[in-house]
């Protein structure tokens, strides 16, 4: 099918293309053969609804594989695995005739209270960017598109339709936009979805700086910008800003506004041409990719992949005394409603109608050869009487007291975390915490298995010998949990977000969720582990942490700068245990004496490697030069600061195995000088510096005893002068009393000389 050029359309037809025909379809232009295409929710499964279905319901969605949500899948740190899941998502999207799967979500987990954290990958932009690109590449390899979301600084659900994320330039660039930049530059998603919120007072849907200057001019985005559903504030300014497609349908209201704006001269028709052209490009890609994968869906194969992914998403937080893996003939007590009624995905627009659903209880019984008793332990019902709670707890204690090991399944009921609202705390329900105490008293050999979309406080962590963080694991999570418990799968996942000791310790505690529709990002750059490390706070479990049933040793690392300016880091890692396993090798960098504020260390690269017992593998990780850059607010651009960087090769952010220094050449940054430039800035200038140095020496000599009379002995006057504005240097000459002061004309001549273009 040939899609026409935008020049073949009328103004009204072009305007019509810039908003949806319905909840899930773009508008056709039948006169010239432009078909409608369907987009649908993701991101961890296909949520294709039949026409007439409501936005958040799943009752009318076609069955699809529910893979682990991002909170789980991200913990794999495995680019290849994430890419394969993306390929499977693309396959199902293609089979169902859908053009674009709305995902992945890569917003930063600024606060553990965000109700939508289960849809996001990490508190770190490198993890989010690398894994987000892998998902996009996997999905789009099947001839269908993705929608990178939610762009940008969408880090809470409270007041999400209008709240302003008030964030300074450095954290905005280095933390909140960096992951988006990585995905756009590395994977070119077909679409980017702008978020509901405002950024520094401007709606994302009508921000030309965000949607055109940054996204297109700086990053080279080639696709289409689509609104989150209902995110459009004012359509005509939004179109001019670079927001191409409004979803869902406005029933023609905003189409008419665009036509009227062109006719009255307030909007140039070329703006409409650009947006409509991008919609046509999307339709063209969709029609060219249509039918790339033929059905029917191999349900069994995708379920098996979902089980593999879930097993690789489970983080072994603690395993004192080698409680895990379980002996298959052990007498077990499985306790907790989640074992029988799994919480496997988050609530809201990403809810999938799964092709099947495994439970942990069934999975355990399928692998165990010994007795497996089950006790509900607690109820997730909204209202539970005290008598029922006691009876359930007593039943659980009775089962635990006669078991070799008690498996205690705890977590958050679905109502406590969802799209649309944020959590009030990070606590597990009180009845569950009371159950922990009772079960531990009956059987100290207790393993806790968690089901939660966001981190939870773990007040029992020092008393329970083993803890599995199961997150939300998708439809095959029950079987995968059994695989890990019995050791059929060796856990290899690691935390992509810090588990704090207390909510009060978290970076955004005092500024979340804000007030009067403004949220001040007062923690600045210090998000997640950056905050805890900078403040030297104790945490329950650090970023990057995760144990295995085997052990790994690291040799001394080496690092060198290659011809492109990237830093290549090599380290030999050995599996020193008696079973095969995977290790996530992490690389962090720091720069002592930096001229700008930095975290003690920042993640810059990672790799997941598989090792047989006794096997050694030399791992090479690349720290991209651009990822060493900070955002210079004076020059309004990225700058790599030169110096000796420390490269830490680590098993977690607080488990450094080897460190090496590498010298990186910095970018040349010469800022224009003005009267308000400090003496330190002037002295470091290649042209003005030598001239001013001589003048200062003359003036300082003239000051003589005058300076000595007011300053303590040994004071370095040059250090005092570093922040002195060059425009006020004349007063120093006045103090000297010898006419050596620099007058306004002399200063202006000096500034003009310094700022003049230099000859090569």
Let me know whether 476 and 587 are in one domain: no
| C-beta separation of 455 from 434 below 8 A | no
Q: Please compute, for residue 571, the number of CA atoms within 13 A of its CA located in the half-sphere on the CB side.
A: 30
Cβ contacts of 514 within 8 Å, gap of 6 or more: 156, 158, 159, 163, 520
d(CA 589, CA 591): 7
Beta strands in 292-399 (DSSP E): 315-319, 332-335, 372-375
Q: Answer whether residue 140 is part of any domain.
A: no
How confident is the model at residue 634, as a pLDDT?
93
How confident is the model at residue 678, as a pLDDT?
85
Last residue of a domain, one of 471, 497, 523: 497
- Both tokens of residue 682? 């002037």
- Residue by residue, DSSP assigns 195-245 as PSSEETTEEGGG-HIIIIIIIIIIT---SEEEE-TT--S-HHHHHHHT--B
Let me know whether 356 and 488 are in one domain: yes
Domains contained in the chain, number: 3
How confident is the model at residue 735, as a pLDDT?
46
Q: Answer whether residue 673 is part of any domain.
A: no
d(CA 403, CA 73): 32
Query: With a cut of 70, which residues of the chain have pLDDT below it?
Result: 1, 51-59, 695-720, 730-742, 758-760
How confident is the model at residue 682, as a pLDDT?
83
Which domain CATH number covers 632?
A: 2.60.40.10
Let me know whether 642 and 705 are in one domain: no
How confident is the model at residue 683, as a pLDDT?
82
| C-beta separation of 95 from 296 below 8 A | yes
* Helices 253-263 and 269-289, axial angle in degrees (round to 10): 140
Nearest CA to 273 out of 230, 308, 240, 318 is that of 240
Let me know whether 361 and 479 are in one domain: yes
Angle in degrees, CA 336, 342, 345, rounded to 5: 135
How confident is the model at residue 726, as a pLDDT?
84
Q: How far is CA 646 from CA 33, 281, 561, 649, 662, in A?
A: 59, 46, 13, 10, 7
Nearest CA to 278 out of 6, 612, 669 is that of 6
Enclosing domain of residue 309 = 299-497
Let me know whether 377 and 491 are in one domain: yes
- Both tokens of residue 108? 């930063």
| C-beta separation of 491 from 315 below 8 A | yes
Let me know whether 443 and 559 are in one domain: no
Nearest CA to 196 out of 116, 126, 266 is that of 116
Map tokens 């029988």 to a residue. 340
Q: Report DSSP state, residue 336.
A: S
Let me know whether 660 and 684 are in one domain: no
Global pTM reads: 0.94
- Both tokens of residue 259? 């036509």
Let me know whether 621 and 484 are in one domain: no
Q: In a 3-state reduction of DSSP, which class is residue 629?
A: coil
Last residue of a domain, one of 664, 695, 730: 664
Map tokens 């059994």 to a residue. 482
d(CA 134, CA 107): 16
Let me know whether 660 and 686 are in one domain: no
- Enzyme catalytic residues: 228
* Helices 299-311 and 79-95, axial angle in degrees (round to 10): 150
Cβ contacts of 542 within 8 Å, gap of 6 or more: 495, 498, 529, 532, 652, 653, 654, 655
Nearest CA to 643 out of 568, 593, 587 is that of 593
Let me know whether 693 and 657 are in one domain: no
Q: Answer whether residue 428 is part of any domain.
A: yes
Let me know whether 568 and 608 are in one domain: yes
How confident is the model at residue 690, as a pLDDT?
82
Nearest CA to 607 out of 71, 126, 121, 77 is that of 77
Which domain CATH number covers 387?
A: 3.40.50.1700
Q: Quick one: CA dihedral 264, 266, 268, 271, positive or negative? A: negative
Q: Answer whether residue 40 is part of any domain.
A: no
Query: Which pLDDT tens digit goes with each residue over 414-466?
Result: 999 999 999 999 999 999 999 999 999 999 999 999 999 999 999 999 999 99
**Measured distance between the N- and C-terminal CA atoms of the chain, rounded to whole angstroms:** 55
Nearest CA to 243 out of 253, 254, 251, 232 is that of 232
Query: Which pLDDT tens digit goes with each residue over 329-371?
Result: 999 999 999 999 999 999 888 899 999 999 999 999 999 999 9
Q: In a 3-state reduction of DSSP, which class is residue 146?
A: strand
| C-beta separation of 188 from 196 below 8 A | no
- Both tokens of residue 163? 């709240």
The conformational region for residue 438 under phi > 0 = left, psi -120 to 50 = alpha, else beta, is alpha
Let me know whether 314 and 454 are in one domain: yes
């Amino acid at each position: 099918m040939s899609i026409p050029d935008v020049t073949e359309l009328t103004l009204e037809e072009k305007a019509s293309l810039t908003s949806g025909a319905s909840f899930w379809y773009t508008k056709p232009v039948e006169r010239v053969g432009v078909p409608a295409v369907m987009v649908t929710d993701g991101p961890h499964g296909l949520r294709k609804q039949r026409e007439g279905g409501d936005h958040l319901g799943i009752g009318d969605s076609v069955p699809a594989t529910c893979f682990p949500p991002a909170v789980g899948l991200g913990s794999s740190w495995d680019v290849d695995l994430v890419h394969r899941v993306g390929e499977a998502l693309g396959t199902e999207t293609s089979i169902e005739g859908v053009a674009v799967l709305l995902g992945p979500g890569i917003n930063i987990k600024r606060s553990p209270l965000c109700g939508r954290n289960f849809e996001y990958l990490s508190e770190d932009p490198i993890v989010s960017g690398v894994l987000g690109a892998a998902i996009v590449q996997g999905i789009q390899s099947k001839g269908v598109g993705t929608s990178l979301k939610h762009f940008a600084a969408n880090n809470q659900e409270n007041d999400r339709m209008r709240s302003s994320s008030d964030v300074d330039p450095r954290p905005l660039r280095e933390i909140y936009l960096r992951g988006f930049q990585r995905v756009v530059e590395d994977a070119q998603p077909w679409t980017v979805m702008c978020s509901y919120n405002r950024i520094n007072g401007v709606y994302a849907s009508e921000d030309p700086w965000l949607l055109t200057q940054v996204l297109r001019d700086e990053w080279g985005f080639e696709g289409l910008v689509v609104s989150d559903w209902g995110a459009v504030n004012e359509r005509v300014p939004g179109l001019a800003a670079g927001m191409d497609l409004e979803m869902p349908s406005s029933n023609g209201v905003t189409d008419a506004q665009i036509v009227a704006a062109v006719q009255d001269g307030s909007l140039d028709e070329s703006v409409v041409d650009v947006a409509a052209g991008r919609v046509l490009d999307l339709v063209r890609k969709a029609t060219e990719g249509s039918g790339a994968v033929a059905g029917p869906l191999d349900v069994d194969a995708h379920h098996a992949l979902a089980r593999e992914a879930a097993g690789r998403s489970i983080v072994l937080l603690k395993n004192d005394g080698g409680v895990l893996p379980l002996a298959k003939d052990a007498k077990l007590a499985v306790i907790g409603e989640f074992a029988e009624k799994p919480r496997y995905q988050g609530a809201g627009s990403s809810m999938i109608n799964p092709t099947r659903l495994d439970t942990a209880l069934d999975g355990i019984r399928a692998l165990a050869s010994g007795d497996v008793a089950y006790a509900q332990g607690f109820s997730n019902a909204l209202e539970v009487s005290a008598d029922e709670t006691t009876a359930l707890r007593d039943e659980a204690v009775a089962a635990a007291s006669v078991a070799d090991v008690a498996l205690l399944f705890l977590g958050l009921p679905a109502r406590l975390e969802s799209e649309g609202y944020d959590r009030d705390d990070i606590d597990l329900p009180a009845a569950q915490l009371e159950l922990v105490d009772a079960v531990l008293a009956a059987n100290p050999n207790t393993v806790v298995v968690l089901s939660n979309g966001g981190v939870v406080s773990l007040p029992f962590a020092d008393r329970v010998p083993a803890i599995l963080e199961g997150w939300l694991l998708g439809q095959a999570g029950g079987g995968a949990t059994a695989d890990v418990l019995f050791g059929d799968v060796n856990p290899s996942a690691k935390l992509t977000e810090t588990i704090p000791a207390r909510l009060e310790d978290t970076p955004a505690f005092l500024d979340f969720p804000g007030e009067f529709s403004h949220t001040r990002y007062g923690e600045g750059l210090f998000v997640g582990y950056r905050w805890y490390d900078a403040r030297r706070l104790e945490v329950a479990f650090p970023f990057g942490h995760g144990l295995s049933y085997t052990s790994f040793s690291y040799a001394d690392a080496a690092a060198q700068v290659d011809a492109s300016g990237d830093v290549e880091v090599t380290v030999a890692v050995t599996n020193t245990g008696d079973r095969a396993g995977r290790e996530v090798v992490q690389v962090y960098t720091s720069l002592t004496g930096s001229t700008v504020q930095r975290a003690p260390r920042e993640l810059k690269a990672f790799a997941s490697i598989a090792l047989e017992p006794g096997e050694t593998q030399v791992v090479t990780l690349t720290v991209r030069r651009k990822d060493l850059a900070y955002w210079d607010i004076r020059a309004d651009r990225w700058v790599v600061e030169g110096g000796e960087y420390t490269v830490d090769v680590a098993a977690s952010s607080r488990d450094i195995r080897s460190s090496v220094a590498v010298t990186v050449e910095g970018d040349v940054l010469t800022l224009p000088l003005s009267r308000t430039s400090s003496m330190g800035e002037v002295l470091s200038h290649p042209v003005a510096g030598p001239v001013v140095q001589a003048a200062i020496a003359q003036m300082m000599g003239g000051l003589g005893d005058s300076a000595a009379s007011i300053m303590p002995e040994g004071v370095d006057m040059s250090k005092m002068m570093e922040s002195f504005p060059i425009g006020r240097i004349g007063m120093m000459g006045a103090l000297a009393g010898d006419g050596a002061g620099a007058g306004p004309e002399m200063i202006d001549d000096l500034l003009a000389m310094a700022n003049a273009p230099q000859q090569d």
